[in-house]
Structure 1
Amino acid sequence: MVAKTQGGAPVTEAEIERKYDLAADRPIPPLVPAGPVTNQAEPRVDVLDATYFDTADFRLAQAGITLRRRLGGSDEGWHLKLPVGEDKREELRVPLLGKPDKVPGALAKLVRGRTLGAKLVQVAHLRTERTSYALLDGDGHELATLTDDVVTGEAGGEKAHLDRWREIEIELSPGADPAVLDSLDRAVVKAGAERSRWPSKLRRLTDELVPSAGGASGSVLADYFTEQLDMLRRNDIGVRRDAEDAVHQMRVASRQLRGALRTFRRSLDADVANGLAAELRWLGGELGPARDNEVMAERLHDEVKALPPELVLGNVEQLMTRHFEREAQEARARAVRALDSKRYLDLLRALEKLAARPRKIKDGKKELRKAVARADRKLREAVAAVADLAPGAEKDAALHEVRKKAKRARYAADTVRPVSGKKLRKWRKNVKAVQTTLGTHHDVVVTRDVLRLLGLRAYAESENAFTYGLLHGRSLATAEAAHRRFVAQWQKVSKGSRPKWLK
């Protein structure tokens, strides 16, 4: 495991493991030798006592999230486990402080987008008798850990649920080759163990109590809303933790939801769709400064590094770093305040309600195609509005409008992907190219204002402002080059392959 911590933030560890069921009377599978494993350390025995917390309707369990207070072992404390991918989870820890029945605020806030403010209560108790074996290579380096667990569990609810079972876990050590896990997997299965179908001990114990998330609803739009809402919530946790790219991904999810609500509003209750789109616009606006600051900081730092040293005059990097770090702190605080607000929780509740009512959504193939065709028509109208404009602020604004319409058209294609064909996918690819190029154009235009501000600050501090002026001039050429690319790419959109119903 790899631990990270900053100040009072939870300690974070990456966890890559596989679970297996093994009959109580079967011996521990022999894992020496298995792949690079050539030795096994002496066993360590622990008794672990864990109390699990969730909302009364198991909202965390439905999302694959585990929250517990554990006593015993080398890592006792409060643990929050977040799903990352197959065999992989991220574990956040805080010490055993405060009351045993009260979840620490640092963890409770992280899952607020899932709990929607509902109280976190004790839902299960597990006692594990664990025997651990470190698996080593020929040089004595630890590659993985094999744990043999005998588990006794009790879950509450309308009807108490008791269970006792045995399971084996193999956890990969930090820095070890993932292929080690595959080698050990083959040896364990050959010895009679079976891959567990349960992602966690808690889910195994409470499976009958946790409401089913269900599969595809049969509604293209409802399934799309569900998918994007989940993406919004997963990155909610990342934004609160200041994780890399989380603001960007959460903003993308909010935009995709908003785009679908506006593009397909004729398939929905118009008042509901318009109201939700307005709230998602608010959310995007609260997240926007943080993301815009990230983009500008990265762009300008890269441009300065690419300049010949003799053209970088004064403390350019230091002044930029100071500016963007201050902006980042303010922007992140704004984003987190939005996520902590009642308005945001109300938005999540409303999106949940919309996605859960597929029968009230009219999204047959004909309706979906008409909506995509409308998005295409609005994109063409926006492009036509640019044609006669002279270079300047008005044309920059018009190109930004084209970018927004291209993005909405692309999102419309993404939404109907389950019922679309190859020709729509080709059209979508060409539209995305236009969107990306105009995104670069817009970034350059916005960055110009920042360069002017930085130049004025440098001058006020008796610093040399030459480099900022140089970058400002270069940005004009970059914007013009982006415009030329857009003109060429638009020809592919307008004359390229597309479905007949889109013409």
Structure 2
Amino acid sequence: MREVSSEIERERKYELSPKAGIPRLTGTGKVRAQEAPVERTLDATYYDTTDFRLARAGITLRRRTGGTDAGWHVKVPLAADTCQELRLPLGEKTTVPGRVAALLRAFTLEAKLRPVARVRTDRFTHRLADAAGRTLAVLADDHVTGEVVGGTTLRLDRWRELEVELDAQAAPRLLDKLDRTLRKSGAKDVWWPSKLRRLISDEVPDRSPRARTSHEVVHAYLREQFQRLRRADLGVRVEAEDSVHQMRVAARKLRSTLKTFKSFVDKKAAARVAAELKWLGAELGPARDVEVTQARLRARLDDVPTELLFGPLRQYLTRDFARASETGLARAREALAGKRYLALLQAMAALLETSPPTGKTGRKALRKPVRKAARKLHRAEAATQGLTGDELEKALHEVRKKAKRARYAANTVRPVFGTKLRTWRKHVKAVQSTLGEHQDTVVDRTALRHLAIAGFGENQNTFTFGLLHGRDEAEAAALRSRFADEWRTLNNGTRPAWLKT
């Protein structure tokens, strides 16, 4: 989506008494100048669905006029003090443009977006600069008037808010130093993560209840991964780096958890969703596989001495993988635009809203699925004994998949058994990582064979591709040896008595 621009913001917000003077930050860290305020008036209309699906997911959508960045803004929290803001041109219409709605499809599930609040801000910005005059941060003194549009309650509010936003080149630790000075000047934490959430606090509670039963523990993990999948969906739509990978991982974790902890959810609904998540993973797979293989082979070429490089190797990689990459991304984008994917999202959302089945709800109920996942991992490893060649490689790939499922199971129950499973989980992760590298060599060798055959057909010298193939075979043997050592460590490592296999 070419009209979308993206910016990472590092900022903190504070409340300040309406009568208090603006804090002086000169002398804090490298700040040597606090310029006189520049006044701007900002008018923003916030949009959401009738049941506030964006707000519940932590997403903010607004149409803002005034200031230097007028337009449609989508804000996505990334971590504490950090968010990503996507910006699109303002346009003349006040209804949400189709391209904006498409970005948020995974969150809205195509429910209509309507105005939910209007906010007018009289903003006074102070540039904070170092001794050389370089901008370090901007301190904004916001005098806000807001009103809720629609909803079940009428709400009008006025308040004052401070916001300090770091420049992209400023050191992150400056935010902590400015924080200390602001607090000494009377600034206090804001309770709400955004101006919109303050206005609609009656509609959308700010805190989620703590998971207490085993069912709630499982559902909390599922909600977390569903949120990750939807945010990665947004990244794929704006072609953000690594988004396809993140989306594929979230889909895999959801599918694994639904299968491992099937007694904690509606089994029939979970089975249907898991099947669709497998389909989604297959649609995303080619784009990610091409990305990984291309990066690995380029790195491999960098390690080859110049005298052993024959033929236009990098051109071959660029040509072959560019075509495959575009095909893979087109397939992923087509899947995300389709009705089948929308139905998957709707089914997952409905599953999370469904009351869990009745049954045991104590800590012990969570042990059985983890123990079962661990036993499947051990059976998969036992099945590798005596195998060689392609059969061994396929069997080790199965061990890797079972290790992932066991680790995901441990992650799910971390709120309950986190300390007791820490060592075991670490050892399972080591096994999974080593076998992941091993599988990469398998994929690499397939790609290298394809490249060598194509090059030979064009009368090119393909010696170097053969050299890399041989190196990958040697690396695979070393990784199998490392796996054997890590498996012994896993078998002999610390774990709860109930996890003994």
Give 2:380's match in structure 1, choosing from 374, 379, 382: 382
Label 1:192 to 1:158 Cα distance change in 2 as closer, same or farther (>3 A): same
Matched, 1:68 2:62: yes
Matches within 5 A, 1:41-440: 41-101=35-95, 103-156=96-149, 157-210=151-204, 214-218=208-212, 219-357=216-354, 359-360=356-357, 362=359, 364-389=362-387, 391-420=388-417, 422-440=419-437
Q: Distance in 2 between matches of 1:283 and 1:361?
A: 30
Label 1:271 to 1:476 Cα distance change in 2 as closer, same or farther (>3 A): same
Q: Distance in 1 between matches of 2:355 and 2:217?
A: 9
Label 1:35 to 1:502 Cα distance change in 2 as closer, same or farther (>3 A): closer
Label 1:377 to 1:178 Cα distance change in 2 as closer, same or farther (>3 A): closer
Q: Distance in 2 between matches of 1:361 and 1:258?
A: 22
User: SS in structure 2 opposite 1:273?
Assistant: helix
Q: Distance in 2 between matches of 1:270 and 1:57?
A: 27
Q: Distance in 1 between matches of 2:257 and 2:40?
A: 52
Matched, 1:493 2:486: no
Label 1:422 to 1:122 Cα distance change in 2 as closer, same or farther (>3 A): closer
Q: Distance in 2 between matches of 1:335 and 1:95?
A: 26
Partner amino acid for 1:51?
Answer: T
Partner amino acid for 1:108?
Answer: A
Is the contact between residue 10 and residue 106 of structure 1 (CA under 8 Å) also seen in structure 2?
no
Partner amino acid for 2:372?
Answer: R
Unmatched segments (≥5 aa) in structure 2: none
User: SS in structure 1 opposite 2:103?
Assistant: coil
Q: Distance in 2 between matches of 1:421 and 1:141?
A: 46
Name the Cα RMSD after superposition: 1.9
C-alpha deviation, 1:98, in angstroms: 4.4
C-alpha deviation, 1:424, in angstroms: 2.8
Q: Distance in 1 between matches of 2:139 and 2:61?
A: 23
User: SS in structure 1 opposite 2:410?
Assistant: helix
C-alpha deviation, 1:465, in angstroms: 1.0
Label 1:426 to 1:183 Cα distance change in 2 as closer, same or farther (>3 A): closer
Partner amino acid for 2:471?
Answer: R
Q: Distance in 2 between matches of 1:37 and 1:477?
A: 55
Q: Distance in 1 between matches of 2:236 and 2:487?
A: 35
Is the contact between residue 293 and residue 327 of structure 1 (CA under 8 Å) also seen in structure 2?
yes
C-alpha deviation, 1:358, in angstroms: 5.1
Label 1:153 to 1:349 Cα distance change in 2 as closer, same or farther (>3 A): same
> Cα deviations across residues 376-419 of structure 1 (Å, max 9, x unaligned)?
22222222221122x22222211111111121112112222222
Q: Distance in 2 between matches of 1:441 and 1:476?
A: 10
> Percentage identity across aligned positions?
52
User: What is aligned with 1:502?
Assistant: 499
Give 1:32's match in structure 2, choosing from 26, 43, 50: 26
> Cα deviations across residues 144-185 of structure 1 (Å, max 9, x unaligned)?
212222111111223322111121221212212223323322
Is the contact between residue 62 and residue 213 of structure 1 (CA under 8 Å) also seen in structure 2?
no
Partner amino acid for 2:494?
Answer: S
Matches within 5 A, 1:2-21: 8-21=2-15
User: SS in structure 2 opposite 1:209?
Assistant: coil
Q: Distance in 2 between matches of 1:369 and 1:302?
A: 43
Label 1:354 to 1:183 Cα distance change in 2 as closer, same or farther (>3 A): same
Unmatched segments (≥5 aa) in structure 1: 1-6
Q: Distance in 2 between matches of 1:427 and 1:159?
A: 51
TM-score by length of 2: 0.94
> Cα deviations across residues 26-80 of structure 1 (Å, max 9, x unaligned)?
2222223433222222321111111111111111112221111111111111111
Bigger drift between 141-150 and 413-422 goes to: 413-422
User: What is aligned with 1:4?
Assistant: none
Is the contact between residue 24 and residue 34 of structure 2 (CA under 8 Å) also seen in structure 1?
no
Q: Distance in 2 between matches of 1:133 and 1:113?
A: 38
C-alpha deviation, 1:423, in angstroms: 4.7
C-alpha deviation, 1:314, in angstroms: 0.7
Equivalent residue pairs, number: 495
